[in-house]
Copies of this chain bind each other. A is one copy, B any other.
Amino acid sequence: MERAENLKFEVTALRCLFMSLSSLAPDPSLRKVAVVGASGYSGEELCALLDRHPQAELTAIFSRQHQGKTLGEVMPRFAGQKIASLAFLNADPINVAACDAGSVFLALPHGVAAEYAAALLHAGKVVIDLSADFRLRDADLYADYYGGVHPAPELLAQAIYAIPELSREAIQRSCLIACAGCYPTSIQLPLIPLFRAGLLDPAGIVVSSASGLSGAGRKAAVDYLYTECHENIRAYGVPRHRHLSEMEQQLSLAADSKVVMTFIPHLAPMSRGMHTTIVATPSFGKTAADLMAALHAAYADEPFIRLREHPPETKHVTGTNFCDIALFDEPRTGRVVILSVIDNLMKGAAGQAVQCFNLRAGLPETEGLL
């Protein structure tokens, strides 16, 4: 039984390797795309982006809840646009795997996405997963942070943790692209280049982030009612939010030593937007100028990273795939303060997924995103 599983895994991996090699001449079929879970906020944003995308063709959308209805019926904002008449199809994994899209976006809750991945990979699809299911390399760590046994541990090794600015080449070759979470994107974009360059004390990271309410998803719950959230800020997931697992994993890889960080997320009374405030300690002998230079070296030519001199505002990036970053020296304490902002549904979810798709499909990285 176990041998059969291993065999299955190897076949999948080989198939993916073959696809990635052959995609050196990018495979046009990858531009046909499908979205599973299109009725959540990330899925809705994906549909909007893919509809406007000049080179992607959105051929199928899947939803358990809305099967049979059109996108225009379920989401009136899409009426009158070309994708409005697209109907939600039966979201059974076998049915999804049979669609003619070459790239499939999974905008599903954690635990559910993994149910689809194996079938899709066997069908030769490229999977772009927005859930947490394939972000961790270690199934035990997943169990520890997300609860329960990982549904498809045999696939973890072939998944690529994906923030394009930080793992571009791997994304171009992967068939299982695990897009980073929203908080981790806003935090790792500034930190990874600094850890890679050995400029930060691995024990000194303290992060406070605030997210708009769309981050909580489109699910009926008293806690997320307008009247509960309006005129209100609250921290949550203290002291051990799930996203810590992927951040400590990736930052440790970048630092080449164990990074343990403090991270406190908050819900703020807005729909979209994520603001991250990082306090960090430079490595011995390093200065804020060294850090700034490293950020410039990493990001000067990145189309979606804007290094700022003033504190960035979430409003500056609303509806865009930008991540704005500013770094301030704090000589009083010997620390630095790093601020970053993203749109949690764009660079934090759907925009980043499309950016990964562009890379994987051999398209210009900014296609449909600027």
A248, closest chain B residue (CB): B332
| In the complex, A339 has a CB within 8 A of chain B | yes
A residues with a Cβ closer than 8 A to B are 41, 76-77, 79-81, 203, 206, 208, 210, 212-214, 216, 218-222, 224-236, 238-240, 244, 260-262, 264, 266, 268-273, 275, 277, 279, 303-304, 306, 308, 310-320, 322, 324, 328-330, 332-333, 335, 337, 339, 341, 370
User: 10 tightest CB-CB pairs across the interface, nearest first?
Assistant: A208-B208, A232-B315, A234-B313, A226-B229, A239-B330, A233-B275, A213-B226, A220-B220, A235-B311, A77-B316
Which B residues touch A311, using CB under 8 A? Answer: 234-236, 238
On whether the beta carbons of B231 and A339 are closer than 8 Å, the reply is no
| Chain copies in complex | 4
On whether the beta carbons of B275 and A312 are closer than 8 Å, the reply is no
On whether the beta carbons of A220 and B218 are closer than 8 Å, the reply is no
On whether the beta carbons of A239 and B329 are closer than 8 Å, the reply is yes
On whether the beta carbons of A333 and B262 are closer than 8 Å, the reply is yes
Which B residues touch A240, using CB under 8 A? Answer: 330, 332
On whether the beta carbons of B225 and A222 are closer than 8 Å, the reply is no
Partner among B220, B236, B238, B330 whose Cβ is within 8 Å of the Cβ of A225: B220
Known: A234-B314, A238-B339. 19 other contacts (CB 8 A): A79-B324, A208-B277, A208-B279, A210-B210, A212-B231, A213-B230, A224-B225, A231-B318, A233-B275, A233-B314, A234-B311, A234-B312, A234-B315, A235-B277, A238-B311, A238-B328, A240-B330, A262-B335, A266-B277
Least CB distance from A32 to B in Å reads 22
A230 to B225, CA, bound (A): 10
Q: With A277-B266, A315-B77, A333-B261 in contact, is A227–B218 under 8 Å at CB?
A: yes
A319 to B45, CA, bound (A): 13
A268 to B275, CA, bound (A): 10
Q: With A41-B227, A77-B317, A238-B337 in contact, is A233–B206 under 8 Å at CB?
A: no
